A and B are shown apart, each in its own frame.
Chain A
Amino acid sequence: MPEQLAFAMEVFLNGLMAGVLYALVALGFVLIYKASGIFNFAQGVMALFAAMTLVGIQNGQVPFAHLINAIFGTHVHTFGWNVPSVFALIFTVIVMILLAWAVQRFVFRHLVGQEPIILFMATIGLAYFLEGFADLMWNSEIKKLDFCMTANTCLPQGINLAIDEFTFNAFGYGFFIDNLDITATIVAGILVAALIAFSQYTKQGRAMRAVADDHQAALSVGISLNFIWVLVWSLAGFVALVAGIMWGAKSGVQFSLSLIALKALPVLMLGGFTSIPGAIVGGLIIGVGEKLFEFWVGPLVGGATENWFAYVLALLFLVFRPQGLFGEKIIERV
């Protein structure tokens, strides 16, 4: 096999894995959009906030340390203990559920029945608030995220030697595939399968779909809209946490993490705003597309195509297939 083709295959595989991470963020958008028609601009910041909370709890950071020190003239920064990842994860999930409740209670409950654009603006406000809040609570340093289920089984990092060896024997060229990306792919797969099963075969999943479809009808069969919205925001918070862990482990927990939301936009244009499988396929196409495009076309135009490829692809979709690959087709009955 020619070296060039093997290299392209490696790029393709890496693209797939990068796509999974995009898809994880897009998934959070789809969940909220389906159930409440809100395009949640804060999804990326939620991932950041979740990752920061996880690391903060793990490292035993004192929340709002700067604020406390400024007010009381103290110098506290950490509790001086480390919390095992599993417990930190559970705490973070609880924090995300509380956040979901607060968002519903203090923001969207007052905006029921408003125009979509107003709800969208509210999520932009939420994004800025949450970013500042995360800064205040856990400070703005870049933090390293090591996530370990037990002392010896951490999120794996670095080259997967088995794949390297296998491909070297097969093609005479060893592929560089990051262990973390493989793990992210598996986790994302499980998460999506679980979410689809939940929404198809359980009472609350059905209620979620019902609320997405018709509020009045949902009320008439005994579904509490508030409860479902809190549930949906909690699920989106959980998905944000998973995305935050994966991205955080890859590139450190830092504020630029919130910008991954922007990469999720083209994914949604491709996959459709209302489709969970669409978010996955969209993510994969963008991931592979931008890596291969960079590989083949990049050298001809001076590189850095990854910055814009996804958006151009999304633009093409908007022109030719505005509902995305899997989105519900918009049919106007007359």
Chain B
Amino acid sequence: MSTQESYVTEDGRTIGPTVMEMKNITLRFGGVKAITDISFDIREGEIRAIIGPNGAGKSSMLNVISGFYVPQEGEVWYKGAKRPPMKPYEVAQQGIARTFQNIALFEGMTVLDNVMTGRMRQMNAGLLSQAIWMGKAQQEEVENREFVEKIIDFLEIQAIRKTPVGRLPYGLKKRVELARALAAEPSILLLDEPMAGMNVEEKEDMSRFILDMNDEFGTTIALIEHDMGVVMDLSDRVVVMDYGKKIGDGTPDEVRNNQAVIDAYLGVAHD
């Protein structure tokens, strides 16, 4: 299967060509190698999961993609071009949105304002126009507000639109963070453990949102998850990491039957 040809999945979604490719990424912190020579790709419209035991380097990988870490070796290719070293905000401006494992929201701002910040990239009226609140700035504000309301409806958080985020419980905060990332209409949406610390019901809700997002908006999603079961149900393809190395890559079924993966998860006798 060539990575440049589109194909249609069993459930009728179209998976497009490669949008991002990581080539031989190595990331070191001092003498410690967090990631060793890892390559994989993300294709348009797919749900791509990165799994692995604790400390496998999954979050580091996500931080490399979103520009929070700069790898010592390797290349990041995005939309067919090699990406130069970038600041995280520049990566975000290129259309890569993300959520965080331990939630990074603007606690003092309302849910609506938080989600509106996701639209930074779509709003480009000049500073002067904003300062006098006329012309483009005003029009832009109204248009983007409409879009944001749609996202808020979609994620079923209408009831808390005007609530400061700091007052919300954990599960809802996770959802607001997702809304903010989705509002950016990202080319790739990175989710760092979207279901960490949730109960079964909340996990089911979150899974549904992820699938619906991918289905309705055609959003390409790369997610990190601990919970094997959830990942296998959600994703089209899975990368498995262990101790900073890639030990498996393929469809959930392929990965499930991979001996190296089974060893990493269930442990293996060293003899």
Contacts of B7 in A (CB 8 A): none
Q: Does B105 make an interface contact (CB < 8 A)?
A: yes
Whether B133 contacts A202 by the Cβ 8 Å rule is yes
Distance (Å) between the CB of A107 and the closest chain B CB?
20
Enumerate chain B residues within 8 angstroms of A224, measured Cβ to Cβ: 87, 89
Residues of B within 8 A of A217 (CB): 100, 104-106
Q: What secondary structure prevails in chain A residues at the interface with B? A: helix
Q: Smallest CB–CB gap between B127 and chain A, Å?
A: 6
Chain A 194-228, CB-CB to B under 8 Å as 1, else 0, gives: 10011001111111011011101111111111000
Q: Of the candidates A206, A212, A214, A222, which one forms a contact with B116 in the assembled complex, judged by CB atoms under 8 Å apart? A: A206
Q: Judge whether A207 and B92 touch: CB under 8 Å.
A: no
**How many B residues touch the partner, as a band?**
35 or more
For the complex, what is the distance from the CA of A86 to the CA of B107, rounded to whole Å?
42
| B98 partner residues in chain A, CB cutoff 8 A | 220
Residue of A nearest to B116 (CB): A206
Q: A203-B137, A221-B117 are in contact. List 6 more A-B contacts (CB 8 A).
A: A209-B106, A214-B105, A216-B100, A218-B117, A220-B66, A222-B92
Determine whether A328 belongs to the interface, using a CB cutoff of 8 Å to chain B: yes
Chain A residue with the shortest CB-CB distance to B124: A203
- Tell me which residues across on chain A come within 8 A of B116, comparing CB atoms: 206
Query: Distance (Å) between the CB of B33 and the closest chain A CB?
Result: 24
Closest 8 CB pairs of A and B: A222-B92, A217-B104, A213-B106, A202-B130, A219-B88, A222-B93, A203-B123, A222-B120
Size category of the binding interface on chain A:
20 to 34
Q: Per-position contact with B for A118-136: 1 when CB-CB < 8 Å, else 0?
A: 0000000000000000000
Q: Are B92 and A206 in contact (CB under 8 A)?
A: no
Residues of B within 8 A of A206 (CB): 109, 113, 116-117
Provide the residues of chain A in CB contact with B141, threshold 8 Å: 201-203
| In the assembled complex, B48 has its CB within 8 A of some CB on chain A | no
Name A197's closest neighbour in chain B (CB-CB). Answer: B133
- In the complex, what residue of chain B is closest to A217 when comparing beta carbons? B104
Judge whether A328 and B100 touch: CB under 8 Å. Answer: no
B130 contacts A209, C-beta separation under 8 Å: no
> In this assembly, does B180 line the interface, its C-beta being within 8 Å of a C-beta of chain A?
yes
| Complex interface: chain A residues within 8 A of B113 (CB) | 206, 209
Check B109–A221 contact: CB distance below 8 A: no
Closest B residue to A212 by CB, please name it: B108
A206-B100 Cα distance, complex, nearest whole Å:
20
Do B117 and A219 touch across chains, with their CB atoms under 8 A apart? no
Within 8 A of B (CB), among A270-292: none
In the assembled complex, the Cα of A231 lies from the Cα of B126 at a distance in Å of 13
Beta-carbon contact of B118 and A221 below 8 Å: yes
Kindly supply a per-residue 1/0 record for chain B positions 27-66, scoring 1 wherever the CB is within 8 Å of any chain A CB and 0 otherwise.
Answer: 0000000000000000000000000000000000000001
